[in-house]
Chains A and B, each alone.
Chain A
Amino acid sequence: MTPPATAVETGHDRHESHASVWPVIVAAGAFLTLLGASGIRQGSFVDGTAGGVYLGLLVSGAVVTLGALVAMTMEPFGGPVVEWAAQWPFAEVENTKLGMWVFLASDVVLFGAFIGAYAFVRVAHGWQAWHDLIPAAHVPLPGLINTYLLLTSSFSVVIAMVAAREERPRVLVGSLVATFGLGVAFLINKALEWQHLFHVHGAAFPNGWDLSTNIASSTFYLTTGLHGAHVAVGLLVTLYMIGRASRGAYMGDDEPIEHFGLYWHFVDVVWLFLFPLFYIL
């Protein structure tokens, strides 16, 4: 099932593909997923049969979307080949890498808006008075541990890239597994931290500190949650690449790993902004 080494490898010298069934299926899956999620209110599905239907739509939609995305990734597809082109100012960056950079540029704005929203409501509330909205149990240590975990995983991705370039399959798989493990550790650490905060007791927060407690908890959970979702997506991609790498892919073809590395570094850098904003200041 491993896709051919080059996307355009066919019986002929070169062949451009024009058909793929997966885009429409991905979109249909996304439609079902979101329709299902629309049945959620205040953290749980609406009551009665309708709630069950919404849950079913959500689950089946997620399965369809994910399956179709994987299938689309594995489908051998030859896009147009750039042979004779004016490319200023991106002559040195090939298409997929440029596409990744451009996507990340939009992601910068997404996180920028989240961070801006946080700063805006915090200033509106009073920058220092903000601390009264946060329980003493919210300490920097879990965030600090997570900072080291993510930084290390960025390092292991670079090792994976070099291993692919130098055609050392065991180092490649090993460093991808290390990346995956560090990412999972990040999420577990975060889950433990959140679980703890949800159930803090005290005079100031008798019902714990969850998403609806106050504006500080809302910004904390949502902004770091969006980041956590980015980590989770990255882990899915890592898992996919581990699967391919263990069957011998990427040897001498380190570009896919580099493109993923760009994303992974970006997620790392975002955390370097979130950590001081939500744990120290």
Chain B
Amino acid sequence: MSDGASRLATPELPDATTLKRWFVTTNHKDVGLLYVGTSLFFLVFGGVLALLVRSQLWVSRAPGEGLLGPVAYNQAVSAHGLLMVFWFLSPLAIGLANYVVPLQIGAKDLAFPRLNALSYWLYLFSGLLFGVSFFQGTSFSGGWTMYAPLNVPTFMPSLGATTTVFALILFTASVTVGGVNFITTIHRMRAKGLSLWRMPLFTWTILLTVWMMLFAFAALLAALLVLSSDRLLGTMYFAQSSPGGALLWTHLFWFFGHPEVYIVFFPALGVMAEVFQTFTGRRIVGRKWFIAAMVLVAVQSFFVWMHHMFLTSISLNVKTLFMATTIGISLPFDLMVFALIYTLKKGDIRFSTPFLFNFGALVLFILGGITGVFLGAVVLDYEFRGTYWVVAHFHYVMVGGVTALIGGIYYWFPKFTGRMYDEFLGKVHFAMYFVGFNLLYFPMFVAWETPRRVFAYQSSLEPWHQLATVGGFLLGSSFLVMFYNLYRSAWAGEEASASPWEYASTAEWTVSSPPPLENYDGYPDYTEGELRYLDEATVRAESTGAGGAAAAAADGGTLLRREG
């Protein structure tokens, strides 16, 4: 640092063992770990709420019976949904992306490191704001879809409900800042020669995810700002007297909400693609088609939202159109699923923990996807809407995605920590997780006639709900095994080499575990078709063209451009 340049001079980065480091760091690997850790905290938060819900559902109850009162139950269900979708699922994926994407594309960091730290802290504080909402009367209690007019003060006067809406607004700010950062980074900072076609699949899924996030969350922000204004200032958009107010909310929410499904699922798909390739030792079958299918889904995801509104007053012609786009969007997914299956068939599978989780994720996603096609058909949806069929379906899809991301944590754990997790405990975790998952969600298909969102149902369905509750506790406790395993292994695990997986092929496995602060000593380069590292002189020489290395090196500054 130049002497006294500014009182605001950037501090040096403190050592990783100090607490201060984690408050001031802007390094993408640190921020990634912060994201992963915080998202797991919200997994526990949302998970405990889910266990409360499952306990209440042990038998069919009248209001006032059981662990939770009616309003407490509504809060638990709403907060569980919001926390899991917004504060756990996406941030876990973004955490992995933060760590891995710059390494995979050969960048030293994200384009705007301070904005990256900012998006993490906005995320954390938005979650804290959500937590505070429970202490302001009641939190939001109208379900994660926050339908109008239930969401206006007439029906939900509590200040805590407003705070929940604000928490989502702050989260949206975090997402927008993060999205701008990732889009700029992936488009502008790939190693030379790493064309989009050659880009690793996990990075591809993140690129598409952040593009979808950028637009989808802007629509959500509009909905949330209008709702805040209705709650704070007394505007009348969603009031009962408003013409089309309730329908307006569903349009705004689901224009965001359907892309959101792919926003949470795509990173999981990316992890599946990476892990399948590494643990079968084979490049994914039909790689270009796989990428094209994902791009198609990302675009089409903005044209299917009204399939969430088949029971509203939209016209039958529109419903039919959206049924067609919805069935249509399942076709590229079929292609991806078959690509993954053929990769298994042609490869030589190694059943390590990351693979088990990702294979499990594929199985669960197939089930979740097929049951979703039922809901995409207008006539069937008339019957299934508002039942546990929907609940079972989207948990198979969403938590199916979680399964792959958990596999991703195991996959990159040696890279994060430089140590290996315990393989046996990893397999125990998977066994408990997979059995618990299916015990929890499959009975919901069988007991599909249970009405959603309430805790009274036909008592003949009680055995199925009791099975589900047992499965829920098994699924929850499987994470205790994971936490123990990862915590212990991070300090005492076997030391991991730069590439502990034999057939790993992406660039993050070419640097030490954990990687140095600025990732690469030289300049990663793919222009010869495979990864090599150039030194500074070569880069100078090649980028100035004629003139030779010596002259270029002497004239160091010319090609350095200043970046924010």
Q: Do A and B bind each other?
A: yes
Binding site for B on A (CB under 8 A): 1, 3-4, 6-11, 13-14, 16-24, 26-28, 30-31, 34-35, 37-43, 46, 71-72, 74-90, 93-96, 98-99, 102-103, 105-110, 113-114, 116-117, 120-121, 123-125, 211-212, 214-215, 218-219, 221-222, 226
Q: Is B416 an interface residue (CB 8 A)?
A: no
Chain B 247-275 residues near chain A, CB threshold 8 A: 247-248, 251-252, 255
A127 to B192, CA, bound (A): 55
Evaluate whether A75 and B24 lie within 8 angstroms (CB atoms) in the complex, with A18-B517, A83-B560, A94-B561 already known: no
Is B236 a contact of A34 with CB atoms below 8 Å? no
Known: A4-B5, A38-B136. 9 other contacts (CB 8 A): A34-B170, A82-B189, A82-B563, A95-B184, A95-B189, A99-B111, A105-B215, A110-B221, A215-B241
Interface string of B135-174 (1 = CB under 8 A from A): 0100000000000000001000101101100110110010
Q: Is B78 an interface residue (CB 8 A)?
A: no
Is B118 a contact of A34 with CB atoms below 8 Å? no
Is B219 a contact of A113 with CB atoms below 8 Å? yes
Is A102 a contact of B25 with CB atoms below 8 Å? no
Q: Distance (Å) between the CB of B166 and the closest chain A CB?
A: 4
Q: Is B311 an interface residue (CB 8 A)?
A: no
Q: Report B-chain residues with C-beta under 8 Å of the C-beta of A43.
A: 232-234
Q: Considering the complex, give the chain B residue whose CB is closest to the CB of A18.
A: B13
Is A39 a contact of B237 with CB atoms below 8 Å? no
Is B111 a contact of A79 with CB atoms below 8 Å? yes
Q: Is B222 an interface residue (CB 8 A)?
A: yes
Q: Report A-chain residues with C-beta under 8 Å of the C-beta of B5.
A: 4, 9, 76
Q: Considering the complex, give the chain B residue whose CB is closest to the CB of A46.
A: B159
Q: Is B214 an interface residue (CB 8 A)?
A: yes
Evaluate whether A102 and B236 lie within 8 angstroms (CB atoms) in the complex, with A76-B8, A83-B539, A109-B219 already known: no
A96 to B232, CA, bound (A): 35
A257 to B100, CA, bound (A): 34
Q: Report A-chain residues with C-beta under 8 Å of the C-beta of B176.
A: 103, 106
> Among the listed B160, B166, B195, B241, which residue makes an inter-chain contact with A86, where contact means beta carbons less than 8 Å apart?
B195
A10 to B4, CA, bound (A): 11
Q: Report A-chain residues with C-beta under 8 Å of the C-beta of B163.
A: 34-35, 38
Is B112 a contact of A99 with CB atoms below 8 Å? yes
Is A28 a contact of B125 with CB atoms below 8 Å? yes
A22 to B107, CA, bound (A): 24
Is B563 a contact of A96 with CB atoms below 8 Å? yes
Is A24 a contact of B560 with CB atoms below 8 Å? no
Is A113 a contact of B189 with CB atoms below 8 Å? no
Is B242 a contact of A121 with CB atoms below 8 Å? yes
> Among the listed B26, B120, B121, which residue makes an inter-chain contact with A17, where contact means beta carbons less than 8 Å apart?
B26
A8 to B564, CA, bound (A): 10
Q: Is B530 an interface residue (CB 8 A)?
A: no
Is A30 a contact of B173 with CB atoms below 8 Å? yes
Is B189 a contact of A85 with CB atoms below 8 Å? yes
A123 to B244, CA, bound (A): 9
Contact sample, A vs B, 14 pairs, CB 8 Å cutoff: A13-B556, A20-B117, A30-B125, A34-B129, A34-B166, A76-B5, A77-B113, A83-B560, A84-B534, A95-B111, A96-B564, A117-B237, A212-B234, A215-B242
Is B232 a contact of A79 with CB atoms below 8 Å? no
A100 to B82, CA, bound (A): 30
Chain A binder among B223-231, B321-329, B336-344: B223-231
Q: Distance (Å) between the CB of A68 and the closest chain B CB?
A: 10
Q: Is B217 an interface residue (CB 8 A)?
A: yes
Q: Report A-chain residues with C-beta under 8 Å of the C-beta of B13.
A: 18-19
A123 to B242, CA, bound (A): 12
Binding site for A on B (CB under 8 A): 1-2, 5-14, 23-27, 107-115, 117-118, 120-122, 124-126, 128-129, 132-133, 136, 153, 157, 159-160, 162-163, 166-167, 169-170, 173, 176, 179-181, 183-184, 187-196, 214-215, 217-219, 221-223, 225-226, 229, 231-237, 241-245, 247-248, 251-252, 255, 517-518, 523, 525-526, 534, 539, 543, 556-557, 559-564
Q: Report A-chain residues with C-beta under 8 Å of the C-beta of B24.
A: 19-21, 24
Is B187 a contact of A90 with CB atoms below 8 Å? yes
> Among the listed A7, A19, A41, A99, which residue makes an inter-chain contact with B232, where contact means beta carbons less than 8 Å apart?
A41
Is B562 a contact of A27 with CB atoms below 8 Å? no
A34 to B164, CA, bound (A): 10
Identify the 4 closest CB pairs spanning chains A and B, nearest first. A124-B244, A113-B222, A27-B121, A109-B218
Q: Considering the complex, give the chain B residue whose CB is closest to the CB of A3.
A: B6
Q: Distance (Å) between the CB of B203 and the closest chain A CB?
A: 12
A6 to B169, CA, bound (A): 34
A241 to B485, CA, bound (A): 53
Is B237 a contact of A219 with CB atoms below 8 Å? yes
A95 to B225, CA, bound (A): 29
Q: Distance (Å) between the CB of A134 and the closest chain B CB?
A: 14
A89 to B126, CA, bound (A): 34
Q: Report A-chain residues with C-beta under 8 Å of the C-beta of B534.
A: 84
> Among the listed A75, A105, A120, A218, which residue makes an inter-chain contact with B235, where contact means beta carbons less than 8 Å apart?
A218
A7 to B247, CA, bound (A): 50
Q: Considering the complex, give the chain B residue whose CB is closest to the CB of A31.
A: B125
Is B192 a contact of A27 with CB atoms below 8 Å? no
Q: Report B-chain residues with C-beta under 8 Å of the C-beta of A41.
A: 153, 157, 159, 162, 231-232
A86 to B190, CA, bound (A): 5
Q: Report A-chain residues with C-beta under 8 Å of the C-beta of B243.
A: 121, 124-125, 215
Q: Distance (Å) between the CB of A24 and the closest chain B CB?
A: 5
A76 to B25, CA, bound (A): 15
A27, A87, A117, A222: residue with the most chain B Cβ atoms closer than 10 Å: A27
Q: Distance (Å) between the CB of A144 and the closest chain B CB?
A: 25
Q: Report A-chain residues with C-beta under 8 Å of the C-beta of B112.
A: 79, 95, 99
Evaluate whether A110 and B218 lie within 8 angstroms (CB atoms) in the complex, with A3-B6, A46-B159, A218-B235 already known: yes
Is A87 a contact of B187 with CB atoms below 8 Å? yes
> Among the listed B2, B10, B229, which residue makes an inter-chain contact with A77, where contact means beta carbons less than 8 Å apart?
B10
Evaluate whether A218 and B236 lie within 8 angstroms (CB atoms) in the complex, with A6-B562, A80-B113 already known: yes
Q: Report A-chain residues with C-beta under 8 Å of the C-beta of B193.
A: 86
Is B218 a contact of A84 with CB atoms below 8 Å? no
A140 to B323, CA, bound (A): 43
Is B162 a contact of A38 with CB atoms below 8 Å? yes
Is A117 a contact of B170 with CB atoms below 8 Å? no
A124 to B236, CA, bound (A): 14
Q: Distance (Å) between the CB of A98 and the closest chain B CB?
A: 5
Q: Distance (Å) between the CB of B402 and the closest chain A CB?
A: 26
> Among the listed B25, B113, B125, which residue makes an inter-chain contact with A27, where contact means beta carbons less than 8 Å apart?
B125
A82 to B262, CA, bound (A): 31
Q: Considering the complex, give the chain A residue whose CB is closest to the CB of B193.
A: A86
> Among the listed B12, B215, B236, which residue makes an inter-chain contact with A212, where contact means beta carbons less than 8 Å apart?
B236
Evaluate whether A8 and B222 lie within 8 angstroms (CB atoms) in the complex, with A79-B111, A99-B111, A113-B255 already known: no
> Among the listed B110, B169, B217, which residue makes an inter-chain contact with A34, where contact means beta carbons less than 8 Å apart?
B169
Q: Distance (Å) between the CB of B146 and the closest chain A CB?
A: 15
Is B184 a contact of A99 with CB atoms below 8 Å? yes
A7 to B10, CA, bound (A): 11
Is A80 a contact of B563 with CB atoms below 8 Å? yes
A215 to B246, CA, bound (A): 13
A23 to B506, CA, bound (A): 31
Q: Report A-chain residues with C-beta under 8 Å of the C-beta of B122.
A: 26-27, 30
Q: Report B-chain residues with C-beta under 8 Å of the C-beta of A85.
A: 107, 188-192
Is B562 a contact of A7 with CB atoms below 8 Å? yes
Evaluate whether A221 and B6 lie within 8 angstroms (CB atoms) in the complex, with A16-B518, A79-B109, A81-B563 already known: no
A94 to B234, CA, bound (A): 43
Is B233 a contact of A24 with CB atoms below 8 Å? no
Evaluate whether A222 and B235 lie within 8 angstroms (CB atoms) in the complex, with A86-B195, A99-B111 already known: yes
Is A121 a contact of B244 with CB atoms below 8 Å? yes
> Among the listed A11, A93, A99, which residue makes an inter-chain contact with B564, where contact means beta carbons less than 8 Å apart?
A99
